[in-house]
Amino acid sequence: MIPIDRYGNIETAWCPGCGNHAILGAVKKALSRLELAPHQVLLCSGIGQAAKAPHYLRCNCFNGLHGRGLPPAQGAALANPGLAVIAESGDGCSYGEGGNHFLAAMRRNVGMTLLVHDNQIYGLTKGQASPTTAQGQVTKFQPGGAPSLAFPPLAVAVTLDVPFVARGFSGDPEHLAGLIEQAVRHPGFALVDILQPCVSFNKVNTFAWYKSRCYKLGPEHDPTDRRAALDKALEFGERIPLGVVYRGERAPYRPDPRVRRPLATSRPDLVKLAKILEEYA
């Protein structure tokens, strides 16, 4: 294993007790077990508290606009098949501002991993309802209750036949590290939705709330059974399953066969390139 210290020990701006700390530790542990050196990893994110995660990891990083972490992540994965590409952001950034990119990425199925810190609230902007906030839940900005139905990310992913769909919990970082490890190893698009309490702005979905409801999927659950996976993906309330919900066989989108190595190390024929450019002059 690669020593975890190689991924840095950088001071964060997160609140004490925030679930993001445990997720960061789980990501480092998974990368260490995968024996991925920092230069072999790219993390992409948008905006938000969760989107700061790549700032606190010593590896390649792209931090873009709100909800825009997935497009550059897919481009990098196609341009450099040898790179482990992870997009990491919050539920608002991934399912709200980036919702259309989320749907497109699942349909496209490029080989990469999406980690969503799902705290069911917008934390950076002080507590508005996010796409995964329960309908009717009172927040700082919705005193009459969130008006919309909660977005079910796992059910949407299973419906779109995303070949690796899982849910973890920041309160069980060892189990979460195992899920991240499996997701990065998976050849296609992999989604890990991570339940994560926001200790400052979500007073409903606390550590105690999650711990009293979360349970791990056992051997009786067959993740290759899509119908059973959809049932588990829709189970959210008094009981919340953790683990690999669905594992499909859809072939990933393959990069252009001409891209056999990172574009940055390619040696184009400059004479041919000049002729091509002349066509556009």
Q: What percent of the chain has pLDDT over 90?
A: 88
Q: What percent of the chain has pLDDT over 70?
A: 99
Give the domain range for residue 260. 4-280
pLDDT over 90 (residue 267): no
Segment 214-243 mean pLDDT: 97
Residue 44 near residue 70 (C-beta atoms within 8 A)? yes
pLDDT of residue 254: 82
Residue 91 near residue 170 (C-beta atoms within 8 A)? no
pLDDT of residue 93: 95
Identify which of 123, 112, 122 has the alpha carbon closest to the alpha carbon of residue 43.
Answer: 112
Hey, which residues does 63 pair with through a beta bridge? 45
Domain CATH number, residue 43: 3.40.50.970
pLDDT of residue 265: 78
pLDDT over 90 (residue 269): no
Residue 150 near residue 167 (C-beta atoms within 8 A)? no
Question: What is the band of 263 on the pLDDT scale with cuts at 50, 70, 90?
Answer: confident
The 10 Å Cβ neighbour count of residue 133 is 27
Q: 91-131: per-residue pLDDT in tens? A: 999 999 999 999 999 999 999 999 999 999 998 888 999 99
pLDDT over 90 (residue 262): no
pLDDT over 80 (residue 257): no
Identify which of 140, 180, 225 has the alpha carbon closest to the alpha carbon of residue 33.
Answer: 180
pLDDT of residue 81: 86
Q: Would you give the DSSP letter of residue 150?
A: P
Q: In a 3-state reduction of DSSP, which class is residue 247?
A: strand
Identify which of 185, 69, 60, 186 has the alpha carbon closest to the alpha carbon of residue 117.
Answer: 69
Spatial separation of the C-alpha atoms in residues 214 and 197, rounded to whole Å: 13
Quote the tokens at residue 181: 């490890």
Report how many domains make up the chain: 1
Q: Would you give the DSSP letter of residue 149?
A: P
pLDDT over 90 (residue 266): no
pLDDT of residue 268: 79
Identify which of 72, 64, 60 has the alpha carbon closest to the alpha carbon of residue 48.
Answer: 64
Spatial separation of the C-alpha atoms in residues 216 and 221, rounded to whole Å: 10
pLDDT over 80 (residue 229): yes
Instruction: Please state, rounded to an integer, the average pLDDT across all residues of the chain.
Output: 94
pLDDT over 90 (residue 61): yes
Spatial separation of the C-alpha atoms in residues 103 and 106, rounded to whole Å: 5
pLDDT over 90 (residue 281): no
